[in-house]
Structure 1
Amino acid sequence: NATLQQRLVPVRLFYDFLVEEGVRESNPVGRGRYTPGRGRGGGSARGLVPRMVKLPWIPAEAEWLQVLKVFRAEPIRNRLMLALAYDAALRREELCSLRTEDIDPAHRTLRVRAETTKTRQERMVPYSASTGVLLGEYLRHRAALSRARGPLFLSESRRNLAQPLTLWTWSKVVRRLALAADVPRFSTHTTRHLCLTDLARMGWELHAIASFAGHRSTESTLRYIHLSGRELSARLNASMSHLHAWRVGMLTGADGRGTE
């Protein structure tokens, strides 16, 4: 749906141009809009394609374990990249653009440079002790390829040996392993969605998640709060847990009278 909306924009603008030039009287690719009032002076006009807002997809626990099982057999570079992508909720470009000087092993943090981010906002993010172990192992392995400072992740193919790893190479790696794990919807952005949803599940505040993710607006962050179901679960437990449990218990016989 989002792709269709994007492709309609140039078509709509083209017809706007034709209307301005007097070639057409109206634009057939209309914009959805609402005018207050009823009757001839008010009402709503639907867009050519209805706009739908969907929550990001994240893998179920069993699917995530399948992906991890496949990744465990991969070289150290690929395992570290997956760990950092999840740990720090990194976008694909942010991950592949990391440099050796961006890493601070003493404090287990990494700098996401402004020029690599979608919002052009620099941020500092932590990574876990487990990822730190993978990082130490990878740095020793990387030294065998190149001792020069610069891009953290290097290609190991014969054609591009020790050259910076490209976005497309990482995408191909993830796609290959997603198919091997039988989780075809898994992509380079899935780890970011999963990390931010897990933070929401753990009770992080909205602004803290937005800062961690590098979101310019908390509207983007709200998707992960909704996806986690945290607020709905809390309200359900606080306001009507007994009533809800009783109604469901009537179906399962948990009310003490049993079922016939």
Structure 2
Amino acid sequence: MSSPSEASNENSLIVGNENEARGIRPFADTSLETAGQIANQVAGHAIFNRYLSQKSANTLKRHSRDLELFAEYLLDVGIMPEHGADFQTNPEAWRGVTWGIIEGFIAWQLQEGYAVTTVNARLSTVKVYAQMAVKAGTVPREEGMLIQSVKGFSRSGAANVDAKRPQTRIADVTYTYKPDGKKQTVVVNRRSTKKRQPVLLTPPDAALLRQLRNDSPQAVRDALLACLLLDHGLRASEMALLKASDIDLLRGTIHFFRPKVKGTSHEWTTHKLTETTYALCRDYLDAHYPPTLLPDGPLILTTTRLKRNGEGGQLVEKGMNRVRLSERVAWLGKQIGLPKLSAHDCRHFCATEMAKMGYGVDELMAWFGWTSAQTAVRYIASVEVQKRYKG
């Protein structure tokens, strides 16, 4: 005889509490073969969330950096991900990824000068998420097997690679440490993790980025995004957390959270909006922002695709995450002839311009949320050197 829970779900693929059933709903007279296909599809799309829920915050942060670099590689070689670049949480982003693209990712990292051990670690991350994409049905099974066959470098292979490739990073980083249980210290030389050459913006470049490209809501959003980066020096992670209520049009201010310096006096801060930023904020919130999302919806929203005839580019009720923000900044940079533009390059421009205007160490630290005075001093000293050279 059936139990009460079974009786109430006699046509369900999963018996038990309805609130506990994950993703599969009742289907009358469903064959086992059909039910299996449905179960695979549902479980495949839930596998990313289940995997992420089991990992520590540090592991997820490392995976996020690895997959952001994978997205940067695609953009650098001219590939635009049709389904977005959120490879960590969106199975659809993996559509079209092949083993050849993964091999290209390895070669690109070596050309950029990354350590072989780092290349191996990132390959491992990509393979884990690609395998989940196979189960989600967005990567064909045969392609998934080929992706898993892509190998990293052994210790001897790594030594041979390093011996044959030129030094391409900015500089070697040398540091000394004392291993546990050892009497002597060890000197370590490693390649810098910074990109070879930052993109140096000029005031005319910044003006182009702030300029409205067309009359679409997307153009207003892009110009506002540029202003917050160039005039206020926000990080991409800070931009992704902004809410519409963080903008106070009456006072002309923006109040935002800085996750990178959480627990310090710079955790929360308020900026007086520049004139251009204020005008864009008012236009964006009053004329384009969906009223249903006010007041606590995400500030920087995604948009529909802008058509060649100038139509489209409408705001969608979904915020842009850090990866999509970085991807958009890179795209905007390419439109004005600045490949590989990043949010940090815009932040660097803002700090340089403020140092030129005579802002002091304490003012720069408060504005950018720096916990070390050395960073502010570096910008001020750099500006002083430039003035002497020109003089």
Alignment-derived partner of residue 233 in structure 1:
387
Between the aligned partners of 1:124 and 1:101, the Cα distance in structure 2 is 13
* 2:281 alignment partner in structure 1: 135
Offset at residue 119 of structure 1 (A):
0.8
Partners in 1 of 2:285 and 2:113 — Cα distance?
A: 40
2:200 paired residue number:
58
Secondary structure of the equivalent of 1:118?
Answer: helix
Is the 8 Å Cα contact of residues 59 and 186 (structure 1) preserved in structure 2?
no
Cα RMSD (Å)? 3.8
d(CA) in 1 for partners of 2:114 and 2:373?
23
Letter in 1 for 2:225: M
Secondary structure of the 1:149 match is coil
Q: Residues 224 and 280 of structure 2 are in contact (CA less than 8 Å); yes or no, is this contact kept in structure 1? A: yes
1:119 aligns to 2:261 (yes or no): yes
User: Is 1:157 equivalent to 2:304 in the alignment?
Assistant: yes
Q: How many residues align?
A: 206
**Structure with higher RCO (Cα < 8 A, 6+ apart):** 1
Structure 1's 68 and 142: CA in aligned 2 closer, same or farther, altered over 3 A? closer
Distance 1:94 1:7, change over 3 A: same
Does structure 2 conserve the Cα–Cα contact (< 8 Å) formed by 1:200 and 1:230?
no
1:49 partnered with 2:203:
no
Hey, what does 2:332 align to over in structure 1?
177
Provide the rounded CA distance (Å) in 1 between the counterparts of 2:349 and 2:328: 19
Q: Residues 1-32 of structure 1, C-alpha deviation per residue, up to 9 Å, x if partnerless? A: 99659949x9xxxxxxxxxxxxxxxxxxxx74
Match of 1:99 in 2: 243
- Measured after TM superposition, the shift of residue 148 of structure 1 is 3.1
Deviation at 1:142, TM superposition (A): 3.7
1:121-165 CA distances to partner (integer Å, 9 max, x unpaired)?
Answer: 11111211221111111012344463432222222338x931122
Give 3-state SS (helix, strand or coil) of 1:49's partner: strand
Contact 2:256 2:268 (C-alpha < 8 Å) held by counterparts: yes
How far apart are 1:90 and its partner, in Å? 0.5
Contact map agreement 2:201 2:346 (CA 8 A) in 1: no
1:80–1:134 CA contact under 8 A, matched in 2: yes
CA contact 1:77–1:138 (8 Å) conserved in 2: yes
Provide the rounded CA distance (Å) in 2 between the counterparts of 1:178 and 1:215. Answer: 26
Q: Aligned with 1:124: secondary structure?
A: strand
Hey, what's the Cα distance between the residues in 2 that align with 1:63 and 1:205?
A: 25
Q: Distance in 2 between matches of 1:145 and 1:172?
A: 27
Match of 2:325, SS state, is helix
Amino acid at match of 1:98: L
- 1:101 shift after superposition: 2.0
Question: What residue number does 1:223 align with?
Answer: 378
Partner of 1:207: 362
User: Which ranges of structure 1 fall in alignment gaps of 5 or more residues?
Assistant: 11-30, 35-43, 242-260
Q: Which amino acid aligns with 2:259?
A: T
Cα displacement (A) at 1:62: 4.5
Instruction: Output the CA distance in 2 between the equivalents of 1:164 and 1:86.
Output: 20
Give the letter aligned to residue 166 of structure 1.
N
Kindly tell me: are residues 60 and 123 of structure 1, through their superposed partners in 2, closer, same or farther at Cα, counting changes over 3 Å?
Answer: same
User: Structure 1 187/6 Cα, relative in aligned 2: closer, same or farther at 3 Å?
Assistant: farther
The answer to whether the Cα contact below 8 Å between 1:154 and 1:163 also exists between their aligned partners in 2 is yes
Residue in structure 1 matched with residue 353 of structure 2 by the alignment: 198
- Cα offset for 1:206? 1.0
Query: Does 1:72 pair with 2:213?
Result: yes
Please, what TM-score do these two structures have when normalized by structure 2? 0.45
Q: Is the 8 A contact 1:55 1:223 kept in 2?
A: no
Say whether residues 1:146 and 2:292 are aligned partners.
Answer: yes
Distance across 2 between alignment mates of 1:201 and 1:162: 39
Counterpart check, 1:167 vs 2:322:
yes
The question of whether the paired residues in 2 share the 8 Å contact of 1:100 and 1:152 is answered with yes
1:88 is paired with a residue whose SS is coil
Give the TM-score of the pair, scaled to structure 1. Answer: 0.64
Unaligned runs of 5+ in 2: 1-111, 122-173, 178-184, 306-314
